[in-house]
Structure 1
Amino acid sequence: MTVRLYPGMLDKSKEYFNHDNNVLLLHAGTVKKFEDVKDHPELDRILEDEKELNDLMKKWFGDNTELKLRTIARCRFGALNFTPDFEADNIEHDYCDCEYRGNCEGENIICKPVTFNGEEISDEEINLLKELSTNEKNIAIADNLGVPVGTLNVIKTKTYQKFGLITKQQLTKHLFLEGLL
């Protein structure tokens, strides 16, 4: 049996994640609500370093630093996955399902384009890979996506090549570990 531990359970890395309407932080073996943690220096640094982000946050939230930092944590780092958001000097942003995707002024400013196996991945590719990770046959997947089976096979081959995938099992494992499933 394989046991997977989330970042921050047994180490000093940090994993922000959304649960219901709360933003939580997993760090040093504890889970705390965002507002119960006094300082978020890693988020402060992001806000200071990214001028476009800072300008947008000032427009939306004025001088309310807690709302700014909470929004960054929720939108950029809000998925619970097996890759730490903050570990030493390494920062990894997450893909979060968002009802405003495609219609948000802050898209790709607050949230960042997501990478999968080292390549940038689009929402369409995420949806395709999620469909391909199911037990459905290609004909049913093609029907779900509204494309002919031949087109699905071509898209599937190109997408597998782009992300260095070989098998459905490998695809499903990577999607799960990245928090995309």
Structure 2
Amino acid sequence: MGKVTVIETNLSFTHPLDPRSSTNYFVVHHAASAGDISAADIHQEHQAFGWAGCGYHYVIRYHGDIERGRPRDTVGAHAQGVNACSVGVVLAGNFMAAEPTAAQMNSLENLLADLCDIYSLNPVNMIGHRDVADIVHDSTDATDCPGDRLYAKMDEIKQKVQALRS
């Protein structure tokens, strides 16, 4: 990856992770956390639910650091219906109540530009978690994620990602 550095967390998963055979979407989430939260914190929370571990592939902290959740080419556990064909990116914070930091936005845009280049996808394939319900045609999966304040920026993010692509 050329534009960002990912901090390797070397998380240990309780179950083997399946390889992802296709990548069609990048799904943006908010952690809905009251404060900054790390990949290790999310990993522990998800394991407490009985899951293998962190369901997201990337965690973006308040200060813009990008931490590895799941290995990039494995099936995620972040957006039911598209886990097998998507990369999950979560930002620490609750964007129903607050704005993402400028550092988070910069890291998100650069990470997504790198991912678009890696997977040869267009920024139109970047979606908010709330868009998954429309893709899988199941309104029972509707969610507010990634929060209204981040979701309102999705078109601007897509434009910036397109401009950043190599």
Structure with higher Rg: it is 1
TM-score by length of 2: 0.27
